[in-house]
Amino acid sequence: MKSARLFLTCRTFLMMAACLPKPTLAQSGSEPPDSTKPAYEIPQIDVIGRAPGMLDRVPGSANIVSSAKLQQLAPISGNDVFRTVTGLHAVDEEGVGLRLNLGVRGLDPDRSRGILMLEDGVPISLAPYGEPEMYYTPSIDRMARLEVLKGSGSILFGPQTIGGVINYITADPPSEPSGTVSSRVGGDGFFTTLVKYGTTSGNVGAQVNLLRRQADNIITTRFRINDLSTKLRFLLGAQSSLGVKVSAYDESSNSTYVGLTQTMYDRGEYFTNIAPHDELLIRRYAGSATNDYVFSPAITLRTTVFGYTTSRNWRRQEFGRASNTTNRTGVVFGDTTVAGGALYMRNQAGNRNRQFEVAGIEPRFSMSYSLGAMRNELDLGFRFLYERAFEQLILGTTYKSSSGNMREDEIRTGYARSAFAQNRLYIAENLIVSPGIRLESFSYDRNIMRGQFGGAVRDTSIIAGSDLFQVIPGLGVSYQLGEGSSVFAGVHRGFAPPRVKDAITSDGKPLNLDAELSWNYELGARISPSPALTFELTGFLLDFSNQIIPVSQSSGGTGTGLVNGGRSRHIGAEAGFTFDVGQVLSSDYSAALSANATVVRATYSADRFIAQGANKINVKGNSLPYAPRLLVTGSLSLAAPFGAGLQFTGNYAAKQFTDEFNTIAATPDGLIGEIPAHFVMDVAARYAFAPLHSVLSLSVKNVFDKRYIASRRPTGIKVGLPRFITAGIEIGL
């Protein structure tokens, strides 16, 4: 019945589009969608858009991180960039951003589950509906820009729209032959090289990126990454163009879940490699094709077909925290005189091998039309997505074994159908009202072929499934005060489905986990009174009827899944400004000062009793884990006309709790306890040498070599990146 309802709704959307009056160019008040674009721009789904003034059309808070901003920051990882965007909380895991942990407005940052993550408009998480974890994270080195959308405009995208949408965007084929070779080296064997080349010949454009990243011992992490991507654009005629993208990613790293105990951190053992033989292998192959077809100057159809497969095989050495731990190797870390203060390494490895398949098709219609004298712009479409996960747990007989005895074997499958529409109604030329709706239907099942039951491992055949249907409305209002200035307000429904493995137990019982639902409100302004000054201010409220609480290993819990957490509320404000003194003085020298701050109070807003020993504690009013109340980033960017540039960036994060009880005192194992506030300063310098078409750069992360706790999970303390110096060169071809 739910699928039938969704089909009828999709058909209704299409009939509406067909019955609307066919506009003329004069009626639409706009040029053909491609008329202002460079001939080489590739068709792909943009979250905000590329044309000047697109931010003013967005009915909510949104940010674009430009290519120039990326060059100024000289980022080691995407975390360096996301911290410059209001509302985002980036948590380091190993210091170089191999795994993205990003929270929005007080949401839990664990594996970025609460955000829809895209690259060139295509989902990139392991499985967008059933397992949206970010184990694969796009390398910031090859990005041209980033789009961040947090307001009601996210109604056009899904799922995982609780926190919003982030879209990584790679470079399009250039109109003329061009390319660069850029390399950067640093301590601990850090080395990265990116080779880019692109051109357009006739009706065909191409852009190829080849990236190599590696390090031997950053904090305790070594890694090798090869990343290849190619974008092609074909002009098929006056009305049609095609964009094709293929990519391959290969990573080998000694990433680990285990972290420091509290005594190890207190004694200054920050860089102890506890599990040097842990190994994570990630391979990802992806392809997509997007066709733009222009029916008329005001009606276009953009159809995207995509698919990708990701393998994530992870060997992790087992350990215990008690002195009676069996099958020990004899290697012990921490303080054995304190209960839970030591790690007893075991001569056994758990190989958690996973394979994911995702495929989908998504047609999107865009049209401009008039109802009387009132101009309208309608976006509508639908999507079908298939995803499947193969998961095995193999216990190695030694701590370095990648094979052994299979304890778990299962397949999880999901089918998602969605339909969406948003209409921009121009009440006046500068007043836009944007109602929208999205329908989500997700059917899933879990097929368990081997597992542990009653202490015994055996083969089985357990198949169970469930489905959910959700209506997601939204409404946004934007009033343009002038070029680059607008005020906006919006409300929309946030939606994220439960993970399949959490919604169905290992014995085949559906838990009927609710979808994660919220009502998200915001009111704000983007003001640019002059080219030298811009600022933004946004107040927000995220009111959850049910927030899913992580208790998985990757969240530091003792369980293996998520649970219904009940009501919670996130209320706060974001503010940011940029002021360029050089433009005010009409000088060739530039001195741009920018800052942003996020204040948020994220709390449990209803009674919720949790067992603590023999008692049950009501956590109503307590702060949510990993939700600092204040985040501040400030930067000073200096540039000279002879090609020199200097960038100072400071990041501050207030204290935060790591458990629902808001425990302040640290436990000996390092898993629980307050994370103190910390401030980190970065410096980056650049010099453009025009005669050789080259740029020299120097970057110092954590200039004052501050020691701080970045996280207490997955299973122990993770320290922040120490002082880290890199030097680079970019040469134009």
Q: Give the model's pLDDT for residue 53.
A: 66
Model pTM score: 0.90
Q: Give dist(CA 679, CA 658) in Å, integer.
A: 19
Higher pLDDT, 60 or 244: 244
- For residue 541, pLDDT beyond 60: yes
Which strands make up the sheet holding 143-149, listed edge to edge? 62-65, 143-149, 165-170, 116-119, 122-123
User: Which pLDDT does position 576 carry in this prediction?
Assistant: 94
Residue 570 has pLDDT above 80, yes or no: yes
Quick one: pLDDT at residue 557?
41
In DSSP notation, 612-664 reads ETTEEEE-TTPBPTT--SEEEEEEEEEE-TTSEEEEEEEEEE--B-SSTT---
User: Does 506 have pLDDT greater than 70?
Assistant: no
Sequence-ordered list of residues with C-beta below 8 angstroms from that of 488, at least 6 positions apart, any chain? 58, 59, 60, 61, 151, 476, 477, 478, 479, 522, 523, 524, 525, 526
By CB neighbour count within 10 A (0-12 exposed, 13-18 middle, 19+ buried), where does 522 fall? buried
Q: What is the pLDDT of residues 273-285, one digit of tens each?
A: 999 999 999 999 9
pLDDT for residue 19: 39
Residue 505 pLDDT > 70? no
Res 1 pLDDT > 60: no
Higher pLDDT, 20 or 540: 540
Q: Alpha-carbon distance 19 to 502, whole Å?
A: 44
Residue 466 pLDDT = 83
**Could you tell me the pLDDT band of residue 504, with boundaries at 50, 70 and 90?**
low
Which helix (H) or strand (E) segment holds residue 724: the answer is strand 724-732
Domain around 408: 2-214+221-732
Q: Residues for the chain: how many in total? A: 733
Alpha carbons 731 and 733: distance in angstroms, whole number: 6
* Helix and strand counts by DSSP (H, E) for the chain: 8, 36
Question: Per-residue pLDDT tens for 657-693?
Answer: 999 899 999 999 999 999 999 999 999 999 998 888 8
Strand residue runs (E) in 531-580? 533-546, 548-550, 562-564, 568-580
**Model confidence band, residue 558 (pLDDT cutoffs 50, 70, 90):** very low
46 band by pLDDT with thresholds 50, 70 and 90: confident
For residue 25, name the pLDDT band (cuts at 50, 70, 90).
very low
217-232 confidence digits (pLDDT tens): 999 999 999 999 999 9
Measured between alpha carbons, how far is 381 from 378 in angstroms, rounded to an integer?
A: 10
pLDDT at 28 over 50: no
CA distances from 524 to 116, 472, 488, 535 (A): 22, 22, 5, 11
- CB-CB neighbours of 589 under 10 Å: 13
Q: Work out the average pLDDT over 206-214.
A: 97
pLDDT of residue 54: 73
H-helix or E-strand spanning residue 7: helix 2-19
What is the DSSP-derived secondary structure letter of residue 120?
T
Rounded CA-CA distance 436/477 in Å is 11
What's the pLDDT at 554?
38
Q: State the pLDDT confidence band at 331, using cuts at 50, 70 and 90.
A: very high
pLDDT of residue 602: 94
CB 364 within 8 A of CB 302: yes
CATH number, domain with residue 630:
2.40.170.20
For residue 50, CA distances in Å to 42, 467, 480 come to 12, 37, 18
Q: What is the pLDDT of residues 269-326, one digit of tens each?
A: 999 999 999 999 999 999 999 999 999 999 999 999 999 999 999 999 999 999 999 9
Distance from C-alpha of 71 to C-alpha of 159, rounded to nearest angstrom: 31
pLDDT, the chain, mean: 87
| Rg, C-alpha atoms of the chain | 26
Q: Please tell me whether the peptide bond between 159 and the residue prior to it is cis, using omega within 30 degrees of 0.
A: yes
pLDDT tens digit string along 360-412? 999 999 999 998 889 999 999 999 999 999 999 999 999 999 999 999 999 99
Between strands 143-149 and 165-170, the pairing is antiparallel
Given a cut of 90, whether residue 613 has pLDDT beyond it is no
What pLDDT, on a 0 to 100 scale, did the predictor assign at position 162? 85
Q: Per-residue pLDDT for 237 more than 70?
A: yes
Burial of 551 (0-12, 13-18, 19+ CB in 10 A): middle
Phi, psi of 588 (to 5 degrees): -70, -20
Q: What pLDDT score does 173 carry?
A: 94
Mean pLDDT of 417-423: 95
What is the sign of the dihedral through the CA atoms of 33, 365, 374 and 52? negative
pLDDT, tens digit, 9 for 90 and up, residues 175-196: 999 999 999 999 999 999 999 9
Q: What is the pLDDT of residue 51?
A: 66
Which is higher by pLDDT, 487 or 565?
A: 487
Measured distance CA(395)–CA(380) in Å, rounded: 49
Greater pLDDT, 500 or 463: 463
In the prediction, which pLDDT does 547 show? 65
Comparing 234-248, 276-290, 470-484, 559-573, which segment has the lowest mean pLDDT?
559-573
Does the structure show a pLDDT above 50 at 514? yes
**DSSP calls for 176-228:** S-EEEEEEEEESTT-EEEEEEEEEEETTEEEEEEEEEEEEEEETTEEEEEEEE
pLDDT of residue 516: 80
- Per the structure, how many domains does the chain have? 1
